[in-house]
Amino acid sequence: MMTIVEFGRKLRAREITSSQATEECLGRIEAENGRLNAFIFAMADEARQQAKAADAELAAGHDRGPLHGVPISLKDLLDVRGVATTAASRVREGHIAERDCPVVTHLRQAGAVFVGKTNLHEFAFGTTNEDSAYGPARNPHDVNRSPGGSSGGSAASVAAGMALATIGTDTGGSIRIPAAACGLVGLKPTFGEVSVEGVVPLSTTLDHVGPLALSVTDAWLVYRALLGGSPATPPAPAPVNGLRLAVLRSYFSDLLDDEVRAGFEKGVAAIARAGARIDEVDIRHAPDVGTVYLHICLPDAAAYHAATLDAIPEKYTANVRLRLEMGRYILGEDYVRALAGRDLLRREVDAALAQHDALLTPTLPIPAPLIGASTVTIGGKAEPIRNVMLRLTQPFNVTGHPAITLPCGTTAAGLPCGMQLVGPRNDTDALVRVALTVEEALARRSVEAPLA
């Protein structure tokens, strides 16, 4: 598979064209989508036209920058003019978007090629991608397993070489969870940084739009394009000597699969060997994050869906309908309590970051779960999969801090694990500089001492 950076070098060296790369992706979609169900629909004709135009522009000397001619996929929550935004739901039957959402406009301006719209958990309301009107997306590392969610089809599309990068959304971990489950980099920017206009919401106070890609640099390039404006040079890695990192303990390490824990600790040791200082910190109210999240996310989602829950309830998948209905019962006073908890958690994470460049946790406490499983056994105890999968990512939707996941080894069965880095609010670039350094350290580790 080719990174965006490699593609760009070859494109400008006239070793490849956008049309060739796009045909390669469309060919993989044709060959593999029946097995992976990553795409709800491909946009082959439009992609070919965009790629042809990108090649013509480059030949005429007009270079739009790092995303020029790059085939990418889009989670099917984002409006693209003239095509459906299904949200993986029958509720959206007959919908056609009248205009591009701003992030799609920015990607067009950056020269990206759209190969198709990807599968997701219905209305992004789940972590496994199983509840979709179009059937479950599957993990390219093991098709019996979930690719994670809700941006599961997006992650599968990149992991299977159907796109060089993809755009996902993240309300409780829906970029970082599937990125970790599929062995990718996934970046959730600071809350409010990337436009969510024209993107079907789950919770307007928790939703983020961001990239999944094959490397930190690729993720940054796509993130910058999402913001709009002129192309910029990728940031340099932060110097590893003097880097101050902190591993989050207690809540964040209480409930982990043994192989995930071992892989994470080896990764942390590799970063320390490279020269970074590693401390350990606690977020005192982290155990409250699940209930805080629930009492914000559920009413937000219920408000958006109230009219269709009453008018066409049969068009939702059963599980998603029940979760949405649950939100209609939350009292206003409890929503306000959750907002108070959110403020406190935000201050506590800010305080931890006052002394550190980034905070470290595993991304996903378990490897990709089997499709159809509702519980997972950790430490001899059965735990609900949804709660476990959200556990380490949702805190930073609640607080709004930028967070990125990087591949961090594999299990004995070959399933990817991820390491999450959390950075200071309103400085996603600072987090990316740290992530570039960590990516180098983890790559060196995998050469020196392969995991598991």
Q: Which residues bind another protein (CB under 8 A)?
A: 285, 288, 290-292, 294-295, 298, 318, 322-323, 325-326, 329-331, 334, 337-338, 340-341, 344
The smaller minimum CB distance to another protein, of residues 289 and 422, is found at 289
C-beta of residue 353 within 8 angstroms of C-beta of residue 424: yes
Beta bridge partners of 71: 113
Q: CA–CA distance from 3 to each of 66, 187, 447 (Å)?
A: 11, 16, 20
Degrees, nearest 5: CA angle 142-177-412? 40
Is residue 75 part of the annotated active site? The answer reads yes
Handedness of CA 266, 272, 276, 277 (dihedral sign): positive
Is residue 150 part of the annotated active site? The answer reads yes
The smaller minimum CB distance to another protein, of residues 334 and 440, is found at 334
Return d(Cα 389, Cα 402) in angstroms, integer. 18
* Residue of 330, 344, 340 whose CA lies nearest to 301: 330
Edge-to-edge strands of the sheet including 403-410? Answer: 39-42, 113-118, 71-75, 165-170, 208-213, 185-188, 403-410, 416-422, 358-362, 244-248, 277-281
DSSP-derived secondary structure for 149-162: SSSHHHHHHHHTTS
The smaller minimum CB distance to another protein, of residues 155 and 292, is found at 292
Smallest separation (angstroms) from another protein to the CB of 326: 5
Residue with tokens 């071992």: 262
- Given the residues 146, 157, 174, 215, select the one marked as catalytic: 174
The smaller minimum CB distance to another protein, of residues 62 and 329, is found at 329
C-beta of residue 366 within 8 angstroms of C-beta of residue 148: no
Smallest separation (angstroms) from another protein to the CB of 136: 21
Smallest separation (angstroms) from another protein to the CB of 34: 33
Phi, psi at 360, each rounded to 5° = -120, 135
Smallest separation (angstroms) from another protein to the CB of 30: 40
- Given the residues 19, 73, 75, 89, select the one marked as catalytic: 75
Smallest separation (angstroms) from another protein to the CB of 390: 13
Return d(Cα 205, Cα 198) in angstroms, integer. 15
- Given the residues 150, 151, 203, 215, select the one marked as catalytic: 150
The smaller minimum CB distance to another protein, of residues 71 and 341, is found at 341
The smaller minimum CB distance to another protein, of residues 155 and 202, is found at 202
Smallest separation (angstroms) from another protein to the CB of 322: 6
Return d(Cα 74, Cα 114) in angstroms, integer. 7
Q: Is 281 exposed, middle or buried (0-12, 13-18, 19+ CB in 10 A)?
A: buried
Q: Which residues are catalytic?
A: 75, 150, 174
